[in-house]
Amino acid sequence: MSVPDFECRLKKYRLLKDLTQEQLAAQVGVRRETIMRLEKAQYNPSLKLAIHISRVVGAPIEEIFVFK
Amino acid sequence: MIISGILITLYILYLFALLVKAISVKKEKERTSQSARAVDPRLGFLGFMGFAGFLGFWTYSIDKTIFPFIFFMFFGFFGFFYEGKMSHTFMDERYRENKLKAHMTANKTAFAIIFFALLILGQGKLMGNLEYTLIALIIVIALSIALEIFLGEYLLYCYDNDEQFEESEE
């Protein structure tokens, strides 16, 4: 289920906030597997989830999810 | 006679209303639920009841009974093996998306099989015998329904667990 020309920099911002995948998943209301696939750019999140993640890690959406 | 007929009709309508209400309550519960329903994977063994469908060939040869062929539908219960593995899974947006995709693929596959079977068998000439055509149709429809039930759960499990070996906290 990979998304072509899609880069996700979530891991970088998550580590900057010193969050584990599990903690981030709990905060945004998804499973750890979903965060893992997001970080590998294997899952295209909904706008709602993207905004939620952006708020939790404190970075703009367009910097976390980069569509080339 | 008329009164008893009316009472029976009212009773049937009451049962129907209860059924509709129970279905709507179940749907609402599913919609608002946060985790997948709990199913014992051992229910998957019910799938072996599908083999009872082969009894139809025997009963047909004895007294032309074709009823046992519908038991082929029970093969679909093998899907409980996979649904059981997904019990209590937290249903986030990715899970719901995968579920929708899995059930759509299963529906499309079953529909395509039934469509082509009807197209071919509906001519009634394939086997030169209407009874054989009816039996073939029942078998195809029963197996398609079984496939639809099984495939929905199996594909959901596959979509949700792909690349499981790579899952690690990095």
Rounded to whole angstroms, the Cα distance separating A65 from B79 reads 36
The dihedral sign for the CA sequence A36, A37, A41, A47: negative
B80 confidence band (pLDDT: 50, 70, 90): very high
Say whether pLDDT at A2 is over 70.
no
Testing the interface with A: which of B35, B86, B93, B168 to mutate, by most A Cβ within 10 A? B93
Give residue B146's pLDDT: 96
A43 confidence band (pLDDT: 50, 70, 90): confident
Phi, psi of B139 (to 5 degrees): -65, -45
- Taking an 8 Å cut-off on Cβ atoms, the answer to whether A20 and B169 are in contact is yes
* Gap from B134 CA to chain A (nearest CA, Å): 41
In one-letter notation, the amino acid at residue B68 is P
B168 confidence band (pLDDT: 50, 70, 90): low
Tell me the average pLDDT across B83-97: 89
B165 confidence band (pLDDT: 50, 70, 90): very low
pLDDT tens-place string over residues B12-70: 999 999 999 999 988 887 777 788 888 899 999 999 999 999 999 999 999 999 999 99
pTM over 0.95: no
Rounded to whole angstroms, the Cα distance separating B170 from A22 reads 11
Q: Where are the alpha helices (DSSP H) in chain A?
A: 10-16, 21-28, 32-39, 47-57, 61-64
Higher pLDDT, B34 or A27: A27
Give residue B28's pLDDT: 83
- The partner residue sitting opposite B90, judged by closest CB among A21, A31, A49, is A31
Closest chain B residue to A50, measured at CA: B93
Give the C-alpha distances (Å, rounded to integers) separating A23 from A15, A64, B93. Answer: 11, 18, 17
- On whether ipTM exceeds 0.85, the answer is no
pLDDT tens-place string over residues B115-164: 999 998 888 777 778 888 889 999 999 999 999 999 999 999 999 887 55
Give residue B106's pLDDT: 96
Closest chain B residue to A28, measured at CA: B92
Closest chain A residue to B163, measured at CA: A37
Say whether pLDDT at B88 is over 60.
yes
Burial label, B27 (beta-carbon count in 10 A; 0-12, 13-18, 19+): exposed
Any idea of the CA torsion for A46, A52, A57, A63, to the nearest 10 degrees?
A: 40
